[in-house]
Amino acid sequence: MKKACAKRMMTLCAILALGIAVCQSKPIKVSSPDGNLTVEVGLENNQPFYSVDYQGERIISKSHLGYKMNDGELGNNCKMTGNSRDQHDETWTQVWGEDETVRNHYNELSVSFQEKTGVKMRMTVVFRVFNDGVGFRYILPDVRQGKEYCIQEELTEITMAHDAKAWSIPSNHTEYFEGIYTKELLSQKDTVCTPLTIEYADNLFLAIHEAALEDYASINLTPRTSLTGVKLLTALTPWQNGVKVYAKGELKSPWRTIIFGQCAGDLITSRLMLNLNEPCRIDDTSWIEPGRYIGIWWSIHKKANTWEMGPTHGATTENVKRYMDFAARHGFSGVLAEGWNTGWGEGEKISYLKCYPDFNLEEVCRYGLEKGVRFIGHTETWGNARLLESQMEEAFAWYERLGIRAVKTGYVGHLFDGKELAKSQYGIRHYRKVIETAAKHHIMIDNHEPAMPTGIQRTLPNLMTQEGVRGQEYNAWDVKGGNPPAHTVTLPFTRCLAGPTDFTPAIFNFSEVVKGTHPHSTLAKQLGEFVIIYSPLQMAADAIENYEGQPALTFIESCPTTWSKSLVPNGVISEYVTIARKERGGDRWFIGSITNEQARRIDINLDFLDEGDTYRAIIYEDGPDADFQTNPYSMTIRQLEVDKNTTIHLKLARSGGAAIRIEKCQ
């Protein structure tokens, strides 16, 4: 009798276990708070997959998840071992940014998998589904008891259900991300950098990138056609020896992000990437100060000055003081000088602690602080990351004592320390060291030649802005003629989705050093770019001689660099864009509107203004005869009384623009 009962009990337990296993292997779904986005996660042929539906339509077909390790493959022969759910809804405040407050609202699903054979590796994949997109990451537990292991490949796929037009720059042929974004079908592209922007349908746009890249390799994507659409295969940036990531203990990958928008402007206003980063880790942020600055920079690119010491050296004590006088008169908070430290001339030893004989850093800082202007430091490494690491603790401590609050870092040189790519895990670790060391000394960082930004500024808001873009300097010396007119109407929908962009706008003098090379824009477009291309440390990039007596400078003098709210009234990728931003702590709005090589009329509805209030709009716009090729300087300034029912009508010249300041009437 007892044996029979025991046998029946064992049979019942086996049936229950089988039922649980079957249940756990069935696909699991999680939807966005508004129900428009649904992610399904499951197993097919024992391989983990996910898919994404938007408004009931399959957008991301079944896509593989997993890793290839040095000791086996994870995601090849798996079982699902469990899942959990969570939800979150909060509003947090940015230290600085395009919006003062950000809503972080998502539903979360975590699904755990384990390999059935081999070392039985495990992974958990966490999905967060927002109203405007999806983020997912891997968590690999420490099953190797603290021993280091290697990731050879990340096997994540993003399979688009059909081919589509997309904007990107190539991964292997664009140094420092300084390329022209081009549009082709996904299936026609080679390996690309992210953000990858996709026009999936007339009313659906996607942007694929990553968030919270901390101790890992930067992502690239390789499109491959398949029976289920176009697969985007993950191609992590390798170390020199081919390893993608070295890991020890528990590993959390960056979030893989897919933003969804019904129009292209929705991609610009998404804060999904920031929400997937950790909250601010700096307790006292009072020293972090966004602002406008000028610098001895454009004159060097235009060959009027030199970085190294000599008869036309730019960074002399006298010249920097002259720039500080100008900054104080016109409301700029800082002055950058490149080439002040030794190491710019051939054969010179680089030092961030030693000045050229014609430059006195302590005197310049003292002089500037008396006028309310701070000196902005510069640490060009030419890719010698170890050199900066060896000096930065002492150098940053010195700068802090002198009252320097911002430092521009630079890494011109194809490889870090002669061997590793900047966007590999090697480079990511270096950038992190610099940001954290700078924070200890109350120093903000403007990082040039960076890895592509991923929202780390939420966690460490002293990381203010980064380059990673084909910037204004190409309009000084590029032998092919500089940036094309469509460039800055493409960037807001591509590179700028990754975060603040140090493009260095506001050139007022279009004279040439290289024949045919100059800003291919009108003067009014240069003003519009000051609003369009966001950077909390925003440089008015021209030499101060070119600003003297210019009425257009009055717009720059008034324009903030941190905002309470940002909107995109209209925009078509590579054709035109309008962005409206409201200042923090005030009632003024600033609007930039720019176009490509096509002249066009733009209507801006001001329904975002407060009900019942009357405003004055000061409009800096292309003159009636303006043209980026024949008459770029033609600009008019007019005033208009407006309210929330007003529509402003603009006529933009070829590669033209407008900049508008809107103030409440007293």
pLDDT in tens, 185-214: 999 999 999 999 999 999 999 999 999 999
pLDDT at 228: 84
Per-residue model confidence as pLDDT tens digits over 391-407 = 999 999 999 999 999 99
Before 195, cis peptide (omega within 30)?
A: yes
User: Percent of the chain scored above 70 by pLDDT?
Assistant: 96
Closest CA to 527 of 329, 338, 660: 660
pLDDT at 290: 98
Backbone phi, then psi, for 138, in 5-degree steps?
A: -100, 145
Q: Print burial letters for 605-633: b (CB count within 10 Å at least 16), e (below 16).
A: ebeebeeeeebebbbbbbbeebbbeeebe
Amino acid at 374: R
Q: Count CB-CB contacts under 10 A for residue 346.
A: 5
Stronger pLDDT, 14 or 147, i.e. the higher one: 147
Residue 449 has pLDDT above 80, yes or no: yes
- CA gap 379, 390 in Å, rounded: 12
Show the domains of the chain with their CATH numbers: 28-275 (2.70.98.10), 292-468 (3.20.20.70), 471-536+553-666 (3.20.20.70)
Amino acid at 449: E
- CA gap 423, 210 in Å, rounded: 13
Local structure of residue 610 (DSSP, 8 states) = P
Per-residue model confidence as pLDDT tens digits over 327-373 = 999 999 999 999 999 999 999 999 999 999 999 999 999 999 999 99
Stronger pLDDT, 178 or 18, i.e. the higher one: 178
Closest CA to 656 of 523, 492, 507: 523
Residue 331: strand pairing partners: none
* Token pair listed for 19: 């039922």
Q: Count CB-CB contacts under 10 A for residue 2.
A: 6
* Token pair listed for 418: 């002669």
Of the pLDDT bands very low, low, confident and very high (cuts 50, 70, 90), residue 144 is: confident
- CA gap 663, 590 in Å, rounded: 9
pLDDT mean over 235-240? 98
The CA-based diameter of the chain, rounded to the nearest angstrom, is 106
pLDDT mean over 372-377? 98
Before 450, cis peptide (omega within 30)?
A: no
Residue 512 has pLDDT above 80, yes or no: yes
Per-residue model confidence as pLDDT tens digits over 558-606 = 999 999 999 999 999 999 999 999 999 999 999 999 999 999 999 999 9
Q: Which residues contact 323 (CB under 8 A, 6 or more apart)?
A: 294, 295, 296, 335, 337, 544
- CA gap 282, 275 in Å, rounded: 17
pLDDT at 21: 42
pLDDT at 2: 42
Per-residue model confidence as pLDDT tens digits over 50-98 = 999 999 999 999 999 999 999 889 999 999 999 999 999 999 999 999 9
Judged by DSSP in three states, 14 sits in helix
pLDDT mean over 473-483? 97
Of the pLDDT bands very low, low, confident and very high (cuts 50, 70, 90), residue 173 is: confident
* Token pair listed for 513: 């050093």
Of the pLDDT bands very low, low, confident and very high (cuts 50, 70, 90), residue 376 is: very high
Local structure of residue 136 (DSSP, 8 states) = E
* Token pair listed for 210: 């990553």
Closest CA to 601 of 567, 578, 580, 630: 578
Phi-psi domain of 82 (left: phi exceeds 0; alpha: psi -120 through 50; beta: other): left
pLDDT at 25: 67
pLDDT at 578: 98
Strands (E) located in 163-244? 165-168, 182-185, 192-193, 196-201, 204-211, 220-226, 229-234
Alpha-helical regions (H) of 506-650 = 523-532, 553-558
pLDDT at 389: 98
* Average pLDDT value over all residues in the chain: 95
How many residues does this entry show for the chain?
A: 666
pLDDT at 136: 99
Q: Count CB-CB contacts under 10 A for residue 72.
A: 15
Of the pLDDT bands very low, low, confident and very high (cuts 50, 70, 90), residue 648 is: very high
User: Percent of the chain scored above 90 by pLDDT?
Assistant: 93
Strands 576-583 and 78-93: what pairing?
A: unpaired
H helix or E strand, kind and range, residue 233: strand 229-234
pLDDT at 666: 81
Residue 641: CA count within 13 A, CB half-sphere: 4
Residue 618: CA count within 13 A, CB half-sphere: 15
Strands 101-115 and 78-93: what pairing?
A: antiparallel
Residue 120 has pLDDT above 90, yes or no: no
Written as one string, the DSSP assignment of 622-638 is E-TT-BTTTBTT-EEEE
pLDDT mean over 250-277? 98
Residue 57: CA count within 13 A, CB half-sphere: 10
Residue 483 has pLDDT above 80, yes or no: yes
